[in-house]
Amino acid sequence: MQVADIIERIVGDFEGVVPKSSWGETSMFYNPGKLLPNGVYFCTLKEQNGENDKASDLNREGTFRLSIGVSKATYEHLFGNRPKRPPKGGIIDTGHDFTALNELMPHPIYGWMSWVQVLNPSKSTFECILPLIVEAHANAVVKFNKKAVNK
């Protein structure tokens, strides 16, 4: 799959999603009616390294990262205890090869926050991880509703 295919699928399949692109990354926000300034993000697609984010080697030709914010329970079911927060510019210590393609693994920087990643997911891998996106979207809806009430 390509980045545009994934964005199209998420925007088309999930209610209230607003994509926002900047600095080589597209973030998917739940923000129906654009009620909040940004909404609540739950999924990102990144196509290039950042200053403090080089662990996935996204500067390789055609390489991109799909990141998904899952619940603590889901993260721990998949990978065990969450790692400690890395120092600025560092990565989490899980033993994963964060440059491996088409493999679900912790996010190299935000794994401590229950984020997971897949570099260049195939169509079949995307279908397998779709329940994680469903969960992340549902969690974003709950967070959004709390923020919207307090607005």
Cβ 94 vs Cβ 81: under 8 Å: no
* Nearest C-alpha neighbor of 74 from the set 21, 17, 133, 144: 133
Q: Which domains does the chain have, with CATH numbers?
A: 3-149 (3.90.1150)
Token pair 């897949």 is at which residue? Answer: 118
User: For the segment 60-110, what is each residue's pLDDT rounded down to a tens digit?
Assistant: 999 999 999 999 999 999 999 999 999 988 999 999 999 999 999 999 999
The whole-number pLDDT of residue 151 equals 62
Residue with tokens 């993000």: 41
Quick: pLDDT tens for 21-32.
Answer: 988 899 999 999
